[in-house]
Amino acid sequence: FVSSLFAATLPPAASWHYGASAVVTMVAISGIWCAVVALALSQAPVLRAYRRMRRGLDRATGVVFVGFGGKLAFTPS
């Protein structure tokens, strides 16, 4: 999805090589980001902190999503 958005911003006269390299770059950046996050969250201190805060984080994100849903439900289209 992100790669397609990135490719949509290319100049109209861009060659397919240019577009393919943009998509490959975005895939590489996404893969590296996911690997860094996975490595960071697999560290024992981070994992312990997450387990301590998980219930509060779940509640906070739940409130945020309910708020987004409420805004979406009550916004005239």
In tens, the pLDDT along 8-49 reads: 788 888 888 888 888 888 889 999 999 999 999 999 999 999
Looking up tokens 């861009």, which residue turns up?
14
Structure tokens at 51: 């387990």
* Averaged confidence pLDDT in the chain: 90
pLDDT at residue 8, as a whole number: 78
Q: What is the pTM of this model?
A: 0.59
The residue behind tokens 């950046």 is 29
pLDDT band of residue 53 (cuts 50, 70, 90) is very high
**DSSP per-residue codes, 11-30:** -TT--HHHHHHHHHHHHHHH
Q: Report the distance separating Cα 5 and Cα 25, nearest Å.
A: 13
Task: Look at residue 3 in the predicted model and tell me its pLDDT.
Answer: 67
Q: How far apart are CA 6 and CA 28, in angstroms?
A: 13
